[in-house]
Amino acid sequence: MPVASPAQYAAMLDAAQKGGYAYPAVNITSLITINGALKGFADRKSDGIIQVSMGGGKFASGIGGADEVLGSIILAEATHKLAEKYDILIGLHTDHCQPGKVDSYLRPLIAETARRRAAGLPNLFQSHMLDASELPLKENMVLSKELLEICAENEIILEVEAGVVGGEEDGVDHSDAPAEKLYTTPEDMLYVYETLNGIGRYMFAATFGNVHGSYKPGAVKLRPDILKQGQQAVMDKYGAAAEFDLVFHGGSGTPEHQLRETLAYGVVKMNIDTDTQYAFTRPIVDHMFKNYDGVLKLDGEVGIKKLYDPRSYLKAAETAVGERMSQACDDLLSTGKTIFGTV
């Protein structure tokens, strides 16, 4: 089954950490974006991560439903089915969930996986993200520890965050975050390790100046050395086995040399949303501009059905998403490294 089991997902992260590569993690909102992502991973023979945000789940449930949990379940179940035709492994993940949404979003999704497990079915999601970075670190870790315990009972990996990812994504706006919050300190990373070690497996989104969105060169002051310093502090005190599985948020638009540098410091997952949104929209715009007289009924004309048929331009959008994900596999060095069939 190409959607990874808990053991396979753990093996994926282990392989990336050992091999010095990372998995692209793409936010999806529809069957079209799921299919595009799967094709992109498969074309590069790369395992990958497909993730759902609260906003994505709400969108998928329809304007008459607006149900974040229902939409997320629908997208996850669709991914389970669609991934079966590919010889790669896919991890399913949920993106940023703030403390105020834990009870209405994360807990119901964890409960759904628990229900499935009790019925002999596979986990719905392999990992979830708690973004409690708005809280003081101590309060953040209290909540992180509580949720990690529940996740561990269900063989779910929890992603936590300390420090703030700047910019705005999916309704979460940290554009005005103070500069010091954009860089996680070695002391913070030690505190995270000492609080969560031994409870269950987790990933850690430490921040190093990264922001959501796309910016002109030079506008974002990334400092990947922050990750190196934090990892070193933890491993110096607790040994090589204490190395974090790190997550890079806000990876869209990052120069290749900085992407590659983060891999050396333990990044095993990089989120890609802005770039895939643009990849999706660009061919649709191109189609509309080139076929303006055909997609609209102008001056009493009837238009051209095959041009305003949504499939005519959504196929191009799906293809473009797949191509962007294939590029991400190349950038993050996961191309050709699927562990499908080996674990």
Q: In this structure, is residue 342 part of a structural domain?
A: no
- Between CA 115 and CA 93 the distance in angstroms is 18
pLDDT of residue 181: 62
Structural domain contains residue 303: no
Overall number of domains in the chain: 1
pLDDT at 292 over 70: yes
pLDDT band (50, 70, 90) for residue 235: very high
Q: Which residues contact 96 (CB under 8 A, 6 or more apart)?
A: 53, 54, 129, 131, 169, 170, 172
Does pLDDT of 113 surpass 60? yes
The per-residue pLDDT for 254 is: 78
SS3 for 189? helix
Is residue 167 predicted with pLDDT exceeding 60?
no
Find the catalytic residue in 14, 43, 95, 131. Answer: 95
**pLDDT range class, residue 220, cuts 50, 70, 90:** low
Burial class (CB in 10 A: 0-12, 13-18, 19+), 136: exposed
- How confident is the model at residue 251, as a pLDDT? 72
- Whether the per-residue pLDDT at 217 is higher than 50: the answer is no
By the 10 Å C-beta count (0-12 exposed, 13-18 middle, 19+ buried), 259 is classed as: buried
Residues 232, 224 contacting (CB under 8 angstroms):
no
Q: What is the mean pLDDT of residues 2-19?
A: 98
pLDDT at 164: 62
Q: Mean per-residue pLDDT for 191-204? A: 98
- At 216 the pLDDT is 46
pLDDT digits (tens, 9 = 90+) for 129-146: 999 988 999 999 999 999
Domain membership of residue 30 (yes or no) is yes
The two structure tokens encoding residue 335: 């191309």
- Give the CATH number for residue 34: 3.20.20.70
Helix count (H) and strand count (E) of the chain? 13, 10
The reply to whether 83 falls in a domain is: yes
The percentage of the chain sitting over the pLDDT mark of 90, rounded to a whole number, equals 82
Is the pLDDT confidence value at 212 over 70?
Answer: no
Give the whole-angstrom CA distance, residue 282 versus residue 209: 28
Q: What is the pLDDT of residue 179?
A: 56
Is 340 within a domain?
no
Tens digit of each residue's pLDDT (9 = 90 or more) over 38-80: 999 999 999 999 999 999 999 999 999 889 999 999 999 999 9
pLDDT(213) > 90: no
pLDDT of the residue at 223:
87
In a domain, 75, yes or no: yes
Which tokens sit at 307? 């041009």
| Residue 242 within any structural domain of the chain | yes
Would the pLDDT of 192 be above 50?
yes
pLDDT in tens, 13-22: 999 999 999 9
Q: What is the average pLDDT across 195-207?
A: 96
Question: Which pLDDT band, with edges at 50, 70 and 90, does 172 fall under?
Answer: very low
pTM (2 d.p.): 0.91
pLDDT at position 77: 98
Amino acid at 74: I
Instruction: Report yes or no: 145 and 195 within 8 Å, Cβ to Cβ.
Output: yes
Give the pLDDT confidence score for residue 173 in this predicted structure.
42
8 A C-beta contact, residue 248 and residue 271: yes
Does 309 or 218 have the greater pLDDT score?
Answer: 309
pLDDT of the residue at 92: 98
**For residue 1, pLDDT beyond 90:** no
Give a yes or no: residue 22 inside a domain.
Answer: yes
Give the per-residue pLDDT at 219.
47
Is the pLDDT at 166 greater than 60, yes or no? Answer: no
Query: What is the percent of the chain where pLDDT is above 70?
Result: 91
Backbone angles phi, psi at 279, to 5 degrees: -60, -40
- Whether 95 sits among the annotated catalytic residues: the reply is yes
What pLDDT does residue 215 have?
46
Domain extent for 27: 6-290+321-331
Average predicted confidence (pLDDT) for the chain = 92
